[in-house]
Amino acid sequence: MNLYAIFAIYMLFWVISAFIMLPLGIRTPDETGEVKVPGQADSAPSNFRPGLVALRATILSAALFGLYYANYVYGWISADTLIAMSKGG
């Protein structure tokens, strides 16, 4: 696997991880007791921290990519294995 493929696959894992981590830890103004600005949506977050989301996404994507790359190198699960599992045998 070349460096460009490694980077592209890692970035895919990172984007997916960021979307998974996005709602974790978010609180609305009703939950935190803050006063809402007129016109503010009820579901608008009051404590959004994008740096923490990026850090969590980086950690999760590194772990997932590590598993993916280890499977690529050692061949734990191959396409033939997946096909056999889908056929039930």
What is 47-74 written as a DSSP string?
S--HHHHHHHHHHHHHHHHHHHHHHHHH
What is the structure's pLDDT at 42? 86
Position 9 scores a pLDDT of 97
Tens of pLDDT, residue by residue, the chain (89 residues): 899 999 999 999 999 999 999 999 999 988 888 888 899 898 889 889 999 999 999 999 999 999 999 999 998 998 888 888 888 75
What is the spatial distance between Cα 64 and Cα 17, in angstroms, rounded to a whole number? 9
Measured CA distances, 37 to 30, 50, 64 (Å):
12, 21, 40
pLDDT value at position 85?
87
Distance CA 62, CA 64 (A): 6
pLDDT at site 89: 56
* Rounded CA separation 79/66 (Å): 19
| pTM confidence score | 0.81
pLDDT at residue 62, rounded to an integer: 98
